[in-house]
């Protein structure tokens, strides 16, 4: 079945440490890929997106993500986490053909400890 998987439900990191959040997709062709962040009580904000070209994508707030076709992955990274990065992170796709809507992963909750 076509799906988006975020294998980590909850991750805890220390402030200043590096971060990597995992995302895998299972589509025959490369979908359009997104990472959204949701702060408590807030809506979703786009961090970055990928549809073609350079496989390393830079986003807002110092985040980046790398598309790896061979691994069907689009992992989100940040070299040094700040306390304000504590939030829920969602990987999402738009399928390469067909409907325009986003399909979301189940999310990864990030806790940042001092």
Binding residues vs other proteins (CB under 8 A):
32, 34, 36, 41-46, 49, 51-52, 90, 94, 99-107
Where residue 54 falls (left for φ over 0; alpha for ψ -120 to 50; beta otherwise) is beta
Smallest separation, CB 101 to other proteins (Å): 5
Residue with smaller CB distance to other proteins, 5 or 73:
5
Residue with smaller CB distance to other proteins, 51 or 83:
51
Residue with smaller CB distance to other proteins, 43 or 114:
43
Measured CA to CA, the distance from residue 56 to residue 22 in angstroms comes to 15
Smallest separation, CB 10 to other proteins (Å): 13
């Amino acid at each position: 079945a076509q799906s988006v998987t975020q294998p980590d439900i909850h991750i805890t990191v220390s402030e200043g440490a590096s971060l990597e959040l995992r995302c895998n997709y299972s589509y025959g062709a490369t979908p359009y890929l997104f990472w959204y962040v949701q702060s408590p009580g807030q809506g979703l904000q786009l961090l970055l997106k990928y549809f073609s070209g350079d496989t390393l994508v830079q986003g807002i707030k110092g985040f980046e993500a790398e598309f790896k076709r061979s691994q069907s992955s689009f992992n989100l990274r940040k070299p040094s986490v700040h306390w304000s990065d504590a939030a829920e992170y969602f990987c999402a796709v738009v399928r390469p053909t067909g409907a325009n809507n986003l399909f979301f992963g189940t999310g990864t909750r990030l806790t940042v400890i001092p």
